[in-house]
């Protein structure tokens, strides 16, 4: 085959792809197309939750499966004055506030959390980008905290407020519903691989929701708020990445 | 008019070649696969390293490290993991259920048994070798023989239909942390989430390779006749 023919075919395929691409990109700007593309999440949430038991566990691994280095992602250090202040005292002045639709609002110190029953789990952390890391988490089952706070039966979501503000100055936050909130592997973790959480991995406390992707595992927890709607929180999509980057709220896939 | 030219033979008859189920699935699948391929490359661009095993991140050994794919081949054309995922996760179920429906339909209308199942006599080494030689010489079957799939064609279709496409679907599902809790056996087929991601990538390029051979064969065998047969179902039998 002669050179120019290959070239022209490549140009042809390239321009066909480009035409289709522009077409798709244009389509995606349409409100209705966008609504369809963004609603696939609902199908996947419905399908997965129909297929799995409410308490179906994420796989737990053995100590020999642990990643040599647990990659940290997102904020490596919140670096705000408030965070630096609590970090300097080794989080002695840090409190986890539990507020919103609860019968008994809580303000828990790290020592109080340490005194509660723990769960340890070696699980795989799956980033939305595609990589995975296995680590051993130790923490307090979220259910224990919710029971202590006497969570209202009308509460539908838990909103996790974090100490880090992303580059844009918006504070990180995430939310989960009650199916995941009461899941046995959903814990507030204060230790990774036998050591207190490092700053890069979310010190002093981070959420573990093992059946969902990494961006749901909120780091630098400051407060948990029980709500009946995500409307009016941030931009209303239920999390920082959901609000500002268009990520799915349900991150099971 | 030159009297020496023999009178033209009457045009070969148009015969029914492809069933409605095959034609519908073929074109739906073609469109959906392009969307999945391009949005998949967009997702891949978020982490352009591939690993074997349960875990794998930047500090771990990668068996393949690539640059990001260029914008003309990704969907959307700029880097947006969120939009690539929206496209991919919207069309992945369409692709999977369309394949399922096509398979059930093709079982019930006996397409698989009549057209795709290997016959014993086809599997003899001599027959396979002759088919390879025929392909190498670009000698395509004529007459009634052109209405049947030859052995290499069957092998290619069966490989894509029963190996590559199911591998794509299952490895895709195996990457989902939710599905890992629902169906723990799924990830064991591949030996871990990062292996599943690698298999997904490899199966994707296997289908791309099939695509190019497929297009080449259509062009060589007579594109108008072949494409018409996949649109209207009617095929003009090449005279012996």
Range of the domain at A42: 3-47
List CB contacts (< 8 A) between A71 and chain B: 57-59
For chain A, how many structural domains are there in total?
A: 2
Residue reference for tokens 């022209």: A8
Q: Is residue A250 part of a domain?
A: no
How many residues would you count in chain A? Answer: 253
What's the confidence (pLDDT) of residue A2? 39
Q: What is the mean pLDDT of chain B?
A: 93
Instruction: Give CA–CA dist B18/B234, Å, rounded.
Output: 7
User: By mean pLDDT, which of A10-24, A62-76, A176-190 is the weakest?
Assistant: A10-24
Percent of chain A with pLDDT over 90: 85
User: By mean pLDDT, which of A21-30, A187-196, B130-139, B186-195 is the weakest?
Assistant: A21-30
- Does residue A13 register a pLDDT over 90? no
- Chain A residue with Cα closest to B81: A129
Q: Does the CB of B89 have a partner CB in chain A at under 8 Å?
A: yes
Q: Is residue A106 part of a domain?
A: yes
CB B89 within 8 A of CB A41: yes
Q: In the listed set A29, A47, A65, which residue is the last one of a domain according to the structure?
A: A47
pLDDT band with cut points at 50, 70 and 90 for residue A4 = very low
B103-129 pLDDT tens trace: 999 999 999 989 999 998 889 999 999
List CB contacts (< 8 A) between B76 and chain A: 21, 24-25, 28
pLDDT band with cut points at 50, 70 and 90 for residue A152 = very high
What are the angstrom distances between the C-alpha of B215 and each of B30, B34, B210?
12, 14, 9
Same structural domain, A153 and A35: no
Mutate which: A28, A132, A240, vs B, most B CBs within 10 A: A132
Same structural domain, A43 and A119: no
For residue B155, the tally of other CB atoms under 10 A from its CB is 16
Q: Do A51 and B182 count as a contact with CB atoms less than 8 A apart?
A: yes
What's the confidence (pLDDT) of residue A25? 78
| Helix (H) or strand (E) segment spanning residue B188 | helix B184-190
Q: Which residues contact A82 (CB under 8 A, 6 or more apart)?
A: A163
Instruction: Give CA–CA dist A124/B179, Å, rounded.
Output: 13
Parallel/antiparallel/unpaired status of strands A96-100 and A221-227: parallel
Residue reference for tokens 């089952």: A141
Instruction: Give CA–CA dist A97/B226, Å, rounded.
Output: 68
User: Which segments within A83-217 are labelled E, that is strand?
Assistant: 96-100, 106-108, 119-126, 132-141, 157-165, 171-177, 187-192, 195-196, 206-208
Same structural domain, A31 and A89: no
B25-53+75-236 maps to CATH 3.30.750.80: no
Q: What is the ipTM of this complex?
A: 0.90
CB A224 within 8 A of CB A137: no
Same structural domain, A147 and A42: no
Same structural domain, A25 and A138: no
Same structural domain, A82 and A10: no
Cis peptide before A215 (omega within 30 of 0): no
User: 3-state DSSP call for residue B16?
Assistant: strand
Same structural domain, A42 and A133: no
What's the confidence (pLDDT) of residue B1? 47
- Chain B residue with Cα closest to A15: B72
Same structural domain, A142 and A196: yes
Comparing CB atoms, the residue among B46, B72, B193 nearest residue A132 is B193
| Helix (H) or strand (E) segment spanning residue B64 | strand B64-65
Backbone angles phi, psi at A231, to 5 degrees: -65, 135
Q: Domain coordinates of chain B in residue numbers?
A: 25-53+75-236
Q: Does the CB of B94 have a partner CB in chain A at under 8 Å?
A: no
A62-118 pLDDT tens trace: 999 999 999 999 999 999 999 999 999 999 999 999 999 999 999 999 999 999 999
CA angle B204, B209, B210 (to 5 degrees): 95
Same structural domain, A10 and A60: no
Q: Is residue A165 part of a domain?
A: yes
User: By mean pLDDT, which of A13-17, A69-73, B146-150, B178-182 is the weakest?
Assistant: A13-17
- Does residue B132 register a pLDDT over 70? yes
- Give which of A73, A85, A68, A69 is closest to A200, Cα–Cα: A73
pLDDT band with cut points at 50, 70 and 90 for residue B4 = low
**What is the CATH classification number for the domain harbouring A112?**
3.90.420.10
DSSP A27-56: HHHSHHHHHHHHHHHHHHHHHHHHHS-TTP
List CB contacts (< 8 A) between A56 and chain B: 181-182
Q: How many CB pairs under 8 A join A and B?
A: 147
Q: Do B47 and A69 count as a contact with CB atoms less than 8 A apart?
A: no
- Give which of A240, A54, A36, A156 is closest to B87, Cα–Cα: A36
B68-90 pLDDT tens trace: 999 999 999 999 999 999 999 99
Structure tokens at B172: 């895709």
CB A149 within 8 A of CB A104: yes
Beta bridge partner(s), residue A236? none
- Chain B residue with Cα closest to A212: B177
Go through B22-60 and write b for each residue having 16 or more CB atoms within 10 A of its CB, e for each that does not: bbebeebbeebbbbbbbbbbbbbbbbbbbbbbbbbbeeb
Comparing CB atoms, the residue among B44, B181, B194 nearest residue A211 is B181
């Amino acid at each position: 085959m002669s050179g120019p023919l290959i070239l022209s075919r490549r140009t042809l395929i390239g321009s066909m792809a480009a035409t289709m691409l522009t077409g798709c990109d244009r389509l995606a700007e349409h409100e209705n197309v966008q609504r369809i593309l963004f609603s696939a999440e609902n199908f996947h949430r419905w399908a997965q939750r129909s297929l799995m038991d409410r308490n179906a566990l994420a796989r737990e691994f053995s100590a020999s499966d642990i990643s040599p280095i647990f990659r940290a992602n997102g904020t490596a250090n919140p670096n705000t004055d408030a965070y630096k202040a609590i970090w300097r005292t080794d989080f002695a002045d840090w409190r986890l506030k539990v507020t919103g639709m609860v019968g008994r609002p809580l303000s828990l110190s790290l020592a109080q959390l340490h005194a509660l029953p723990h769960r340890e789990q070696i699980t795989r952390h799956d980033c939305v980008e595609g990589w995975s890391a296995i680590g051993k988490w130790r923490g307090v089952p979220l259910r224990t905290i919710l029971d202590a706070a006497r969570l209202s039966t009308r509460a539908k979501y838990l909103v996790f407020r974090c100490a880090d503000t992303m580059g844009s100055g918006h504070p990180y936050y995430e939310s989960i519903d009650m199916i995941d909130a009461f899941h046995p592997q959903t814990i507030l973790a204060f230790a990774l691989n036998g050591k207190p959480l490092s700053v890069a991995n979310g010190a002093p406390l981070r959420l573990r929701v093992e059946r969902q992707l990494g961006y749901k595992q909120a780091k630098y927890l400051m407060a948990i708020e029980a709500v009946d709607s995500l409307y009016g929180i941030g931009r209303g999509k239920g999390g920082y990445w959901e609000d500002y980057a268009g990520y799915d709220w349900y991150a099971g896939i | 008019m030159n009297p020496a030219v023999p009178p033209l033979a009457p045009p070969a008859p148009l015969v029914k070649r492809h069933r409605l189920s095959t034609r519908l699935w073929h074109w739906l699948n073609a469109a959906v696969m392009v969307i999945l391929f391009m949005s998949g490359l967009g997702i891949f661009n978020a982490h352009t390293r591939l690993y074997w095993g349960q875990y794998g991140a930047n500090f771990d050994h990668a068996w393949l490290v690539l640059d990001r794919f260029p914008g003309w081949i990704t969907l959307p054309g700029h880097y947006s993991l969120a939009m690539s995922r929206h496209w991919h996760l919207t069309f992945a179920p369409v692709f999977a259920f369309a394949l399922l429906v096509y398979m059930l339909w093709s079982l019930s209308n006996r397409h698989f048994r009549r057209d795709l199942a290997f016959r014993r006599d086809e599997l003899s080494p001599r027959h396979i070798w002759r088919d390879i030689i025929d392909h190498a010489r670009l000698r395509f079957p004529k007459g009634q023989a052109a209405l049947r799939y030859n052995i290499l064609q069957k092998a290619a279709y069966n490989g894509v239909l029963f190996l590559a496409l199911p591998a794509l679907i299952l490895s895709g599902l195996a990457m989902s942390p939710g599905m890992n809790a629902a169906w723990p056996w799924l990830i064991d087929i591949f030996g871990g989430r990062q292996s599943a991601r690698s298999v997904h990538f490899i199966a994707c390029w296997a289908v791309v390779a099939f695509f190019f051979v497929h297009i080449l064969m259509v062009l060589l065998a007579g594109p108008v006749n072949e494409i018409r047969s996949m649109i209207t179902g009617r095929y003009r039998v090449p005279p012996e």
